[in-house]
Amino acid sequence: MFDVNKIRNDFPTISANNIYFDSVASSLTPMSVVNSMNEYYTKYRANVNRGFYDFSMKASEKFEESVASIANLINSKITEIVITSNATHSINEVALSLDFEPGDEVVLSTLEHSSNMVPWARLEKKIGIGTRWYNPGELGLFNIDEFEKLLTKKTKLVSLTYVSNAVGTLVPVKQVSELCKSRGILFLVDAAQAVPHMKIDVQDIGCDFLAFSGHKMLGPTGVGVLYVKEELAESLMPAFLGGGTINTSGCSCSLTDECNIDQCNFNDLPHKWQAGTPPIAEAIGLKAAIDYLNAIGFDDIGIHGEALMKHMMNGLNSIPHVDIFGPNEPELRKSIVSFNIGDLPPTEVGRILDEKYNIAARAGDHCAVGYFKSSRTIEAPGNVRVSLYIYNTEEEVNRFLNAIEDISRVCIGR
Amino acid sequence: MKKVFLVENNCCGSGFNVLLAPLQKRLMNEAKVEVINLARTGDQVIIPKEIREKIASNGISFLPAIFVDGNLVSEKRIPNLMEAIELVQHN
């Protein structure tokens, strides 16, 4: 197991006075990531894959190393990795790149983050696709047989989160993938809350697309990843085209106003999908984050998260008036616990945690409005959410539990 | 029973409303809690004497404020729920 106190020294915003329990929103960033980005900006600042001079060659090499590192992380080919700005961008790119027809259906779940809801709502309005929603209920646990009933001949795509950002439960993506394959349905996995905490293998999952964000896994903001299975990356026309995507020297038209896209060849993968200048420093920073996580090891990351989760849930379950959302079994979640204290407004609980106890926790609907609106038993407009990561300690969890006990006692009473 | 007034001049935001119900519930045996929002009062509203006097002498710059039995116990901010409960219980 890793030494969490040693880890904490690597994170400049961590202090003994403040507790950061909002890594689901955005994780903290170790100095190695910051240093790698500074090194790019101060030592070899240039664009990538565009120049033949020393700085550009070095920047290109570092960028390609990042892409390779990402591919290795999720067991994909380099040709299947697109650098985006975040998971939201990645999901939107899939939505806009697929050739939907009116009447095509996309199947989602009520656990989805709005980033995996709104792009499809847009296509409902623009193209006339339909959406069908699987509701796993208040516990957030999937029943694969019930889910299968939503798939029809019109289903073109299933798009699901791997780990719910509202309750932390896991979706059986491998089983969903098998269902989709047997029916010729494409499958997109929103892995934003999964990649930071567990080893992901896109071959094992069998998905066609996978999206995640760098800033939730110790990386910088402004970088994300879209995995596109190679045959799809070859056959689809990307939504975003521009510099670097087309082989301009290979265009068969001689005059600009005679050109259309069919007369040009796309560049080799993955460049076909990488329009314009990518977030270079951020991609280099993401590699540093991946290196940091790999050095700890995802097995140990999982063990640490599970131990803290168990301690957190046991503690919360013993405090009067605390109502935990989702399953009570810690092993059915990934590092996220959300709860309310009686009918106290969650925003007030979040405010008290911050102002009196210096604990950063998220309060509200966490952009998972479908979960709160769809459950018949949930009347709360949201809840308080805490998330645990590699730099959190048992002592922090104890301080948090004491704070919740105080809040329950003072604000609700006996 | 203590008389608690949460006084504000708030046209648009949630203001003291977010605290009202939980305060009333928590303090139901100890205090009667009401909101007076100067920006949303109708033509007929009874503003207690001590609050009128404070406004007359200081203007409304001290708002949002909490009065407990006529005494100003908090001003210029909306306390969080825990602070508000403790202010009422300790004054």
For strand A383-387 and strand A336-341, is the pairing parallel, antiparallel, or unpaired? antiparallel
In a mutational test of the B interface, the residue from A351, A355, A359, A402 whose CB has the highest number of chain B CBs within 10 Å is A351
Q: How far apart are alpha carbons A335 and A232 in whole angstroms?
A: 33
pTM summary value: 0.93
Q: Which residue of A has its CA nearest to B86?
A: A410
Quick one: pLDDT at residue B13? 82
Residues in chain B closer than 8 A to A406 (CB atoms): 82
Residues in chain A closer than 8 A to B80 (CB atoms): 348, 351-352, 355-356
Asked if A366 and A166 count as a contact pair (C-beta separation under 8 A), the reply is yes
Report chain A (414 residues): mean pLDDT per 10 consecutive residues: 93 95 97 98 92 90 97 98 98 98 97 96 97 94 96 98 94 97 98 97 98 98 98 96 82 69 85 95 98 97 94 95 91 91 94 97 89 71 93 98 97 87
A284, with CB counted inside 10 A (0-12, 13-18, 19+), is buried
Q: Which residue of A has its CA nearest to B84?
A: A411
A367 is catalytic: yes
Residues in chain B closer than 8 A to A410 (CB atoms): 82, 85-86
Whether residue B80 and residue A355 make contact (CB cut-off 8 A), yes or no, is yes
Q: Count H helices and E strands in chain B, helices first.
A: 3, 4
- What's the average model confidence in pLDDT over B52-70? 94
In the numeric block, which tokens belong to residue A339? 């709860």
Give the A:B interface size as CB pairs under 8 Å: 35
Whether residue B82 and residue A411 make contact (CB cut-off 8 A), yes or no, is yes
Interhelix angle A87-97/A118-126, nearest 10 degrees: 20
- Alpha helices, H only, A109-257: 118-126, 144-148, 173-183, 202-205, 230-235
